[in-house]
């Protein structure tokens, strides 16, 4: 669950440089994205069937969120 309490939906995954596979989940309510390493009991074939996403670091994701927030604030100021 995300901070808003919405359900998280797997939207894809990527493989890190160290070989570790990561699932990306997005909140169905607020759009927040989270990275989760796959676990030993995850269905690896199902993981590989998800869309492949570009590998991002948490810093890159934070920068994207900041850009989106600044853009939204800018849009609001144009409307007001």
Contacts of 62 (CB under 8 A, 6+ apart): none
Work out whether the CA dihedral 60, 64, 70, 71 comes out positive or negative: positive
| Predicted pLDDT of residue 74 | 60
Q: What stretches of the chain adopt beta strand conformation (E)?
A: 8-15, 21-27, 33-37
| Predicted pLDDT of residue 75 | 57
φ, ψ of residue 5 in degrees (nearest 5): 95, 0
The model's pTM: 0.64
Residue 8 pLDDT level (bands cut at 50, 70, 90):
very high
| Predicted pLDDT of residue 70 | 74
How does pLDDT run across 31-76, given as a tens digit for each residue?
Answer: 888 888 888 898 888 888 888 887 766 677 667 667 777 766 665 5
* CB of 37 closer than 8 Å to CB of 25: no
Give me the residue spans of the domains in the chain: 8-79
């Amino acid at each position: 669950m995300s901070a808003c309490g919405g359900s998280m939906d797997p939207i894809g995954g990527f493989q890190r440089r160290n070989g570790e596979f990561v699932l990306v989940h997005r909140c169905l309510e607020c759009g927040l994205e989270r990275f989760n390493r796959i676990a030993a009991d995850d269905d690896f074939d199902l993981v590989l069937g998800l869309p492949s996403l570009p590998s991002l670091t948490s810093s890159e994701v934070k920068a994207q969120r900041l850009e989106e927030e600044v853009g939204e604030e800018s849009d609001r100021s144009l409307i007001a």
